[in-house]
């Protein structure tokens, strides 16, 4: 099977994501903080994998800051606030096969500063 460069990158990310998901699972007490990064946006969800439900979510669609890193930091703060409202302090981090750098790292550090432990 031949793939172009874009397909190859997506395939490799999905392989990494599947490896991560084999080890990481969220519960009601410690949900999974799943991050998805597209070329323009970033999204974070708190997921209870035992029930298969999303507990809370945040994205950068309505964030009014300039720059993608700053938007990721705002999403990190927002997901931490949403978790506090649901009385969640500990989570397991799922980077979704994305490298822990740039926007993913900015979101994670902002969530930690907002009070989430992982």
Q: Which domains does the chain have, with CATH numbers?
A: 5-113 (3.30.420.100)
In the structure, what pLDDT confidence band is assigned to residue 5 with cuts at 50, 70 and 90?
very high
Give the H/E segment covering residue 80.
Answer: helix 68-85
User: Residue 94: CA atoms inside 13 Å, Cβ hemisphere, count?
Assistant: 27
Whole-prediction pTM value? 0.92
What proportion of the chain, given as a percentage, has pLDDT over 90?
A: 94
């Amino acid at each position: 099977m031949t793939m172009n460069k874009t397909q190859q990158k997506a395939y490799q990310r999905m392989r990494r994501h599947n490896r991560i998901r084999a080890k990481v699972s969220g519960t009601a007490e410690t949900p999974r903080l799943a991050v998805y990064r597209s070329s323009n946006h970033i999204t974070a969800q708190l997921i209870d994998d035992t029930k298969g439900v999303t507990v809370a979510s945040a994205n950068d669609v309505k964030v009014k800051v300039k720059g993608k890193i700053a938007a990721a930091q705002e999403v990190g703060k927002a997901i931490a606030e949403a978790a506090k409202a649901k009385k969640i302090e500990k989570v397991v981090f799922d980077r979704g096969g994305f490298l822990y750098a740039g926007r993913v790292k900015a979101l994670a550090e902002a969530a930690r500063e907002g009070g989430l432990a992982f």
